[in-house]
Amino acid sequence: MSSILTNSSAMVALQTMKTINAGLARTQSEISTGKTVASAKDNAAVWAVSKVMESDVEGFKGISSSLSLGSSTVAVARQASETVTKLLTDMKGKIVAAQEDNVDRSKIQTDIVALRKQIESVVGAAQFNGLNLVNGSQTSVDVLSSLDRSSTGVTASSITVTAQNLSTGQYAANDVFNASTGGTISAAGDTFVLSLDSAGGSDDITIADGTNNWAAGDKITMRIGDKTASYTVSDADIDSGNNTVPDLIAVGMKNAIDALKIGGLTVDFDSANAGQLTFTNDGTTDLTVSGQYRNAGSGGLGALSSVDVSTANGAATALGSIETMLGTAIDAAAAFGSVEKRIGIQSDFVGKLTDSLKAGIGTLVDADMEEASARLQALQVQQQLSTQALSIANQQPQNLLSLFR
């Protein structure tokens, strides 16, 4: 049936043309924007996922900057620690030389003072953007390292960098190694040196309360011959009450010294005399016993201020002190080196993770340009054909006129 009021062919051709034109517009948009999902109306679910991932990429860019800043800060601290280690090694050489009687100890002491001042200069200058990890002004620093996304939300994680105190005592609660007491070491910050003759040499060392109360973290170090023992005061010691603290420290030191297994040396604790240890040398070699006290709040190199090799006893004490300080500097450099390496690994990971996220976003929303190009050519041909079909369909009513001639 033919009708001059309703042209079904033209309507079909028109709808086909609209569909083709819509597809052509969509393909042209993909080509111009480079995306198959350029807005939420294109695909709401995919668009939402892509935007969340894009926000994470921006967050990881900030994390990358944080890691770079943290790495630089730790690198400065590590370099300072390594430099201090080298200077302490040089100082140890001077102290060893001072053990000889036939040397000018005053000249050696001058060199040691110069090295100490250089160490103080290094520690004071080891800052990055105002943050110094080696002068005792910090306990720890958190370096932002990652964003962790889960079903419950997003949390930030950090790498904790533990600061190392290589100061020479400027942050101490009280002075360290400030007096020689001939065998008594106390919480006031004393040092002692005694000699034990071989074949029965004996002497007493008393750990006393002193003018300051003991605190958790206070440390006593004793050097017997070429071996070192130490004891750090704990919270349990302090909680026992001040009257028993010296006894507990004395027992702790006795156990530490016994563990050294020094031939011929016997250390006895006399409970009748608070904090007293009796050293007896039944060996065949003379032993020199030196000891130091370090306040919990003092600098890790606080003993530097008391190093004095101008006397034989001072040289003996300094030899024990330098070993402890050298160990502190080495441990600090090793700790900074480990955390710097970890930060570097995390930085590399964040960079690769960011690239992977970008690639994933691209897979979700980017247009396949080869496919879009081929589709554009096909749609352009279809558009031309649909235009021709509509033209033919619009001419059908004209054909009805021939029936009335």
What is the rounded average pLDDT of the residues 322-334? 91
DSSP string, 245-301: HHHHHHHHHHHHHHTT--TTEEEEEETTSTTEEEEEE-SSS-EEEEEEEE-TTS-TT
Both 242 and 352 in a single domain? no
Asked if residue 191 is part of any domain, the answer here is yes
What is the rounded average pLDDT of the residues 173-191? 41
Asked if residue 184 is part of any domain, the answer here is yes
Question: 34 burial class (0-12, 13-18, 19+ CB within 10 angstroms)?
Answer: middle
Give the residue with greater pLDDT, 398 vs 98: 98
Please measure the distance between the N-terminal and C-terminal CA atoms of the chain and give it in whole angstroms: 19
Residues 6+ apart with CB under 8 A from 78: 333, 336, 337, 340
Question: What is the SS3 assignment for 202?
Answer: strand
Question: What is the SS3 assignment for 319?
Answer: helix
Both 123 and 203 in a single domain? no
Asked if residue 6 is part of any domain, the answer here is no
Kindly report the backbone phi and psi dihedral angles of residue 98, in degrees, each rounded to the nearest multiple of 5, phi listed first. Answer: -75, -10
Taking alpha carbons only, the member of 91, 171, 162 closest to residue 123 is 171
pLDDT in tens, 339-373: 999 999 999 999 999 999 998 998 888 887 888 88
Question: What is the SS3 assignment for 117?
Answer: helix
DSSP string, 160-177: EEEP----SSTT-SS-SS
Residue 291: its pLDDT value, please?
72
Asked if residue 89 is part of any domain, the answer here is yes
pLDDT greater than 60 at residue 389: yes
Both 274 and 344 in a single domain? no
Both 206 and 293 in a single domain? yes
Residue-range definition of the domain harbouring residue 260: 179-298
Both 341 and 289 in a single domain? no
Asked if residue 322 is part of any domain, the answer here is no
Both 135 and 236 in a single domain? no
Mean pLDDT of the chain: 82
Q: List the CATH number of the domain containing 88.
A: 1.20.1330.10
Asked if residue 151 is part of any domain, the answer here is yes
Asked if residue 341 is part of any domain, the answer here is yes
Taking alpha carbons only, the member of 322, 295, 294 closest to residue 308 is 322
What is the rounded average pLDDT of the residues 143-148? 90
Both 160 and 190 in a single domain? no
In 160-244, which residue ranges form alpha helices assigned H by DSSP?
235-239
- pTM comes to 0.64
Both 161 and 190 in a single domain? no
Specify whether the CB–CB gap between 178 and 190 falls below 8 A: yes
Taking alpha carbons only, the member of 163, 141, 161, 136 closest to residue 294 is 136
Q: List the CATH number of the domain containing 242.
A: 2.60.40
What is the rounded average pLDDT of the residues 299-316? 82
Both 123 and 214 in a single domain? no
Asked if residue 12 is part of any domain, the answer here is no
Both 55 and 139 in a single domain? yes
Both 255 and 183 in a single domain? yes
Both 254 and 229 in a single domain? yes
Residue 300 burial (CB count, 10 A): 25
Give the residue with greater pLDDT, 77 vs 215: 77
Q: Which of 77-86, 207-216, 321-330 has the lowest mean pLDDT?
A: 207-216
Domain limit, last residue, from 252, 273, 298? 298
Q: Give the C-alpha distances (Å, rounded to integers) separating 130 from 137, 145, 307.
A: 11, 21, 30
Kindly report the backbone phi and psi dihedral angles of residue 155, in degrees, each rounded to the nearest multiple of 5, phi listed first. Answer: -125, 150
Number of domains in the chain: 2
